[in-house]
Amino acid sequence: MDFNVKKFASDAGVFFTRAVQFTGEKLGQSEKTELDAHFENLLSRADSTKNWTEKIFRQTEVLLQPNPSARIEEFLYEKLDRTVPSRPNNGELLGQYMQDAAKDFGVGTPYGSTLMHVGDCERRLGSAHREFLQTSAISFLTPLRNFLEGDWRTISKERRLLENRRLDLDSCKARLKKAKLAESKAAAVPDFQETRPRNYVLSASASAAEHELRVAQTEFDRQAEVTRLLLEGISSTHVNHLRCLHEFVEAQTAYYKQCHLHMQDLKKELDRFPNAFAGKPGHSMASDGSSSPGKAVDPLDVASTVETDTLKIEEVQAPATGTRKAKVLYDYDAADTSELSLLADELITVYTVPGMDSDWLVGERGNQKGKVPVTYLELLS
């Protein structure tokens, strides 16, 4: 290693001089060259851009990948310039488990068939999420990272260099001021024996200080112009980030739309199998009158449905005979004013009326009356 002692000593001296100058400024003992208001505004705007970009970048990473261990792993692979191993995400893994369970329980059973359909939907949702992550990483995260690790590092480097040039300039101003003060004192109190040699030395010292000041001022002005141009480029950065933000929103919109379509398809598939539900069979497509695709519609069923829909519950009267007591098995929330809400284990009076769907009865509780699903009731003798 080529070790230059003189250069090392010179650099150490410059560093010490700047440290002394900086400390003096902080203590109010040294003058400081102030930047113009426009330049200070550019610096403030640049700092604000850096801080908020960093926060948005970090939080977007958390949004896209909530698992901190996975984020650290991806970061290490990126720094090592290696491809992250492909692994199933949570949605794909859940879908795989559901489909494996369906095969074990039997695809022909209601539960197994439903698991198979839901598992397939979960896998498609997981695949859509994987595509969304890749699109967002390319269109949004990468430009933000490039700014923080590229443009901002360049700006920070030039700002530090400008600060050093300013400290050098102020140090030269202080030396010139000191030399001028010594020269004026020598002229005010002349020493007739050594006047000419001392005045000559002081004048030469002041001239050297003036030359150093001019050089320092030139270097400071040049560096200030370079830094100013970089700071003004922040506006272009905002324009670029605005475009990336629009692309991120478009990716989110496409992702959520795709998820919505997948869930709608799943709902249609499940509505074809009302017996697979353990909750509210009364609200299946068969009970509300709609038919499955490809299935012929019985005109009698349509007529019965229309007749039930047009039936006004408040006008229905309990028959003299044929009423029964029923125990409610599950809680039930009425879908509209024609239905009666139920609470588990309560007793109600039920009866049927001509033209009503066989899956429904009219139930009464005191002064309240409405349709109730048969599957929620245990008819008592």
Residues 187-237 have pLDDT tens digits of: 666 555 554 555 555 666 778 888 888 999 999 999 999 999 999 999 999
Both structure tokens of 280: 């509210």
Give the rounded percent of residues in the chain with a pLDDT score beyond 90: 44
Q: Flag the least confident range among 124-133, 190-199, 257-266.
A: 190-199
Contact between 323 and 353 under an 8 Å Cβ cutoff? The reply is: no
Cα torsion angle, 274, 277, 282, 284, sign? negative
Question: Which letter does DSSP use for residue 148 in this model?
Answer: I
The confidence score (pLDDT) of residue 117 equals 93
Residue with tokens 């409610």: 328
Contact between 57 and 148 under an 8 Å Cβ cutoff? The reply is: yes
Task: Identify the H or E element spanning 369.
Answer: strand 368-373
Both structure tokens of 314: 């408040």
The confidence score (pLDDT) of residue 286 equals 41
Q: Flag the least confident range among 25-34, 104-113, 255-264, 340-349.
A: 25-34
Distance CA 128, CA 91 (A): 10
Both structure tokens of 122: 């979960």
The confidence score (pLDDT) of residue 41 equals 95
Task: Identify the H or E element spanning 372.
Answer: strand 368-373
Contact between 179 and 209 under an 8 Å Cβ cutoff? The reply is: yes
Distance CA 137, CA 145 (A): 10
Q: Which of 82-86, 119-123, 193-197, 335-339 has the highest mean pLDDT?
A: 119-123
pLDDT band for position 366 (cuts 50, 70, 90): confident
Distance CA 355, CA 351 (A): 13
Both structure tokens of 362: 């009219």
**Predicted structure pTM score:** 0.61
Beta pairing partners, 363: 350, 370
Residue 128: how many CB atoms within 10 A of its CB?
19
Both structure tokens of 267: 């709902």
